[in-house]
C-alpha cells in the first residue's frame, strides 16, 4: 500500500462545521468534523491534520482536538509521526467491514438476550416503529424511526454495558447514514422486517442472524461508497521488469 505525500494543509481553507448535534461532547464534535473533512476530500490520505485550523473552525481549544485525534488513531483514521505531526491514514477496506461485523455481533447479543423477553407490548411498539419507518422515506425521518427501533431491541437485553459500546462504535459515516449511503434505506427496511419476524417468533439465533446480515449488507454499501470516494489505500504499482 502507498500513501500520497502530505500537502501543506495549513494553507487549506477548512469549511465551517455542519450541524453536529447539541448532545455531543466537544471531543465527539471534533471527531465527527475531522471524519467529515476526510469523507468530503478536504483532507486526503497523507495530509497532516492542521490542528490549529481545526480548533479555529470549531471555536475550541487544541485540547479537545488532541483528544479527538487519539480516538481517531485508535480507529485507524490517523497515524502519528513523532516530531512531525498527525496525518490522515489511508483507510483499509477491512476496517470498514470489521466495523459492521462488530455492529452485527453487538446487536446480535441484544437479539439473543432479548428475544425471550419480547412481550406482546414490545412487539406492538416495534411494529409501530417500523410502520413509521416505512411511512416517511426522508433520510432524517428514516434515521429517527430506525434509531427508535434498534434502541427498543437493545433495551430488551437489559445490559448496562451494551449501549455504551454501541455509542463508542458509532460515526464511521460522518452524518446521516441514510442520506449519505446510497441504497441504505432499502437494505434497512428489509433487515428490520427480518429482525421483527425473529422477535415475533422468539427466535434468538434467527434474530441475531438477521442483524448480522443487515449490518454486513450496510457494510458492503459503505465499502462501495468509500471506494468510490478514493478513501481506501491503493496497491503500489509493480515496478516494470528491467
Residue 234 domain-assigned (yes or no): no
119 in the same domain as 75: no
212 in the same domain as 129: yes
CB 18 within 8 A of CB 180: no
Number of structural domains found in the chain: 2
Domain span at residue 79 reads: 13-88
223 in the same domain as 117: yes
Q: Residue 238: its pLDDT value, please? A: 45
Q: Residue 11: its pLDDT value, please? A: 64
- Angle (deg, nearest 10), helices 26-39 and 62-75: 60
Provide the β-strand partners of residue 121.
none
191 in the same domain as 97: yes
CATH number for the domain that contains residue 83: 1.10.10.10
178 in the same domain as 126: yes
209 in the same domain as 146: yes
Q: What is the pLDDT along the chain (242 residues), one digit of tens a residue?
A: 455 555 667 666 676 776 544 456 788 889 989 999 999 989 988 899 999 999 999 999 999 999 999 989 988 889 999 888 999 988 889 989 999 999 999 999 999 999 989 999 999 999 999 999 999 989 999 999 999 999 999 999 999 999 889 887 767 888 899 999 999 999 999 999 999 999 999 999 999 999 999 999 999 999 999 999 888 876 544 444 43
Q: Residue 95: its pLDDT value, please? A: 86
Q: Residue 88: its pLDDT value, please? A: 92
104 in the same domain as 55: no
Domain end point (choices 88, 123, 142): 88
Domain end point (choices 64, 88, 112): 88
Q: Residue 6: its pLDDT value, please? A: 56
Domain end point (choices 88, 116, 138): 88
Q: Residue 240: its pLDDT value, please? A: 44
Q: Residue 84: its pLDDT value, please? A: 87
217 in the same domain as 172: yes
Q: Residue 152: its pLDDT value, please? A: 96
Amino acid at each position: 500500500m502507498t500513501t500520497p505525500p502530505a500537502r501543506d494543509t495549513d494553507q487549506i481553507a477548512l469549511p465551517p462545521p455542519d450541524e453536529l448535534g447539541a448532545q455531543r461532547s466537544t471531543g465527539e464534535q471534533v471527531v465527527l468534523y475531522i471524519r467529515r473533512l476526510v469523507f468530503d476530500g478536504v483532507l486526503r490520505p497523507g495530509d497532516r491534520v492542521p490542528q490549529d485550523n481545526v480548533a479555529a473552525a470549531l471555536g475550541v481549544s487544541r485540547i479537545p482536538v488532541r483528544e479527538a485525534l487519539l480516538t481517531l488513531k485508535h480507529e485507524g483514521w490517523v497515524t502519528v509521526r513523532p516530531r512531525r505531526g498527525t496525518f490522515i491514514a489511508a483507510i483499509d477496506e477491512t476496517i470498514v467491514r470489521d466495523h459492521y461485523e462488530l455492529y452485527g455481533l453487538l446487536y446480535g447479543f441484544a437479539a439473543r438476550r432479548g428475544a425471550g423477553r419480547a412481550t406482546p407490548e414490545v412487539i406492538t411498539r416495534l411494529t409501530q416503529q417500523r410502520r413509521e419507518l416505512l411511512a416517511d422515506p426522508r433520510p432524517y425521518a428514516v434515521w429517527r424511526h430506525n434509531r427508535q427501533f434498534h434502541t427498543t431491541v437493545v433495551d430488551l437485553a437489559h445490559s448496562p454495558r451494551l449501549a455504551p459500546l454501541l455509542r463508542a462504535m458509532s460515526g464511521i459515516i460522518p452524518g446521516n447514514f441514510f442520506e449519505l449511503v446510497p441504497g441504505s434505506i432499502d437494505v434497512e427496511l428489509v433487515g428490520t422486517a427480518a429482525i421483527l419476524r425473529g422477535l415475533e417468533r422468539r427466535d434468538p439465533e434467527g434474530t441475531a442472524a438477521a442483524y448480522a446480515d443487515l449490518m454486513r449488507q450496510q457494510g458492503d454499501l459503505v465499502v462501495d461508497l468509500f471506494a468510490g470516494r478514493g478513501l481506501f489505500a491503493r496497491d503500489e504499482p509493480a515496478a516494470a521488469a528491467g
